[in-house]
């Protein structure tokens, strides 16, 4: 129970941090947004951002669950960080990179949603928004 409460608090904290990062992106302060993302990877997940970012999307959940011993709480945090990373790349006009991170965020959130015993309108809304952005980016790449 203690670990579950701890993870819920971490998820709430990461949501606040991601909101701040999105605010920095909106203001055009990409350097500070990038530094905040690096801070979040290392302090919330105790991993180097480049290690987590380098995992291929096809192996993402399996690698994180087996090799890193992540649980759904960790996956949700990482999904939020990948989303913020995608938004940063999108704002910088890096469509290929943003597409990769939107897809990774979607994969993790979709996995969590399927594994969950309860329905979350927020998660469903995020999944829909991610699907739309992924489709948009794929269409523009053609």
**CATH code of the domain covering residue 126:** 1.25.40
- Across residues 130-142, what is the average pLDDT? 91
- Residue 84's domain comprises 2-141
User: What pLDDT, on the 0 to 100 scale, is given for residue 117?
Assistant: 79
Q: What is the pTM of this model?
A: 0.91
- Across residues 59-68, what is the average pLDDT? 93
Counting the structural domains of the chain, the total is: 1
Percent with pLDDT over 90 in the chain:
67
Is residue 2 pLDDT above 80, yes or no?
Answer: no
SS (H, E, C) the chain: CHHHHHHHHHHHHHHHHHHHHHHHHHHCCHHHHHHHHHHHHHHHCCCCHHHHHCCCHHHHHHHHHHCCCCCHHHHHHHHHHHHHHHHHHHHCCCHHHHHHHHHHHHHHHHHHHHHCCCCCHHHHHHHHHHHHHHHHHHHHHC
């Amino acid at each position: 129970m203690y670990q579950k409460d701890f993870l819920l608090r971490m998820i709430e904290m990461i949501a606040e941090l991601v909101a701040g990062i999105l605010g920095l992106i909106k203001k055009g302060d990409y350097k500070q947004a990038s530094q905040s993302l690096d801070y979040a990877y290392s302090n919330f997940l105790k991993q180097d951002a480049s290690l987590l970012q380098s995992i291929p999307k096809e192996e993402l959940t399996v690698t994180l669950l087996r090799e890193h011993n992540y649980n759904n709480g960790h996956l949700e945090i990482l999904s939020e960080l990948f989303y913020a990373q995608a938004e940063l790349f999108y704002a910088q006009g890096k469509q290929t990179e943003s597409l990769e991170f939107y897809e990774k965020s979607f994969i993790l959130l979709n996995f969590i949603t399927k594994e969950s015993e309860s329905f979350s309108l927020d998660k469903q809304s995020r999944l829909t928004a991610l699907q739309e952005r992924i489709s948009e980016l794929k269409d523009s790449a053609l």
